[in-house]
Amino acid sequence: MLRYLTAGESHGPKLTGIVEGLPSGLTLSKLEIDRALQDRQKGPGRGGRMKIEQDEVVITAGVRGEVTTGAPVALEVRNRDWANWESVMTSGKDVDWESKKVIAPRPGHADLTGTLKYRMEIRNVLERASARETAIRVAVGNLSRQLLTDLGVEIRGRVISVGAVDLQWKNTAQEWERVFQSEWKVGDVEGEQRLNEQLSEARRLGESLGGILEIQVLNLPAGLGSYVQWDRKLDGRLAHAILSVQAMKGVSFGLGFETAKRFGSEVHDPIVYHSGEGYKRNQNNAGGIEGGMTNGEPVIVQVAMKPIPTLYHPLQTVNLETKAEVQASIERSDICAVPAALTVLEHVIAWEIAQAVLEKFPSDTMYELKRAWQEYLEYLKAQ
- Reported as a single tens digit per residue, the pLDDT across 41-67 is 999 988 766 677 889 999 999 999 999
308 is in an annotated binding site: yes
Which domain CATH number covers 114?
3.60.150.10
173 is in an annotated binding site: no
Instruction: Using CA atoms of 2, 349, 244, 81 in order, give the dihedral in degrees to the nearest 10.
Output: 90
35 is in an annotated binding site: no
337 is in an annotated binding site: no
Q: What is the mean pLDDT of the chain?
A: 96
Per residue in 291-307, pLDDT (tens digit) is 999 999 999 999 999 99
332 is in an annotated binding site: yes
74 is in an annotated binding site: no
- Residue 330: its pLDDT value, please? 85
Q: 3-state DSSP call for residue 129?
A: helix
Beta bridge partners of 159: 213
pTM comes to 0.95
Q: Does 332 have pLDDT greater than 80?
A: no
Radius of gyration of the chain (CA): 22
Q: CA 140 to CA 62: how far, in whole Å?
A: 13
Q: CA 251 to CA 239: how far, in whole Å?
A: 6
**Structural domain count of the chain:** 1
Q: CA 273 to CA 279: how far, in whole Å?
A: 5
Average pLDDT over residues 248-277: 96
Per residue in 122-175, pLDDT (tens digit) is 999 999 999 999 999 999 999 999 999 999 999 999 999 999 999 999 999 999
130 is in an annotated binding site: yes
- Residue 207: its pLDDT value, please? 94
156 is in an annotated binding site: no
- Residue 47: its pLDDT value, please? 73
278 is in an annotated binding site: no
Average pLDDT over residues 345-374: 98
306 is in an annotated binding site: yes
247 is in an annotated binding site: yes
What percent of the residues of the chain are helix, what percent strand, and what percent coil, each to the nearest 5?
A: 40, 20, 40
Residues 6 or more apart from 145 whose CB is under 8 A from it? 36, 155, 346, 347, 350, 354
46 is in an annotated binding site: yes
Q: How many CA atoms lie within 13 A of 87 on its CB side?
A: 7
- Residue 193: its pLDDT value, please? 97
- Residue 48: its pLDDT value, please? 67
Task: Give the domain extent around 374.
Answer: 3-382
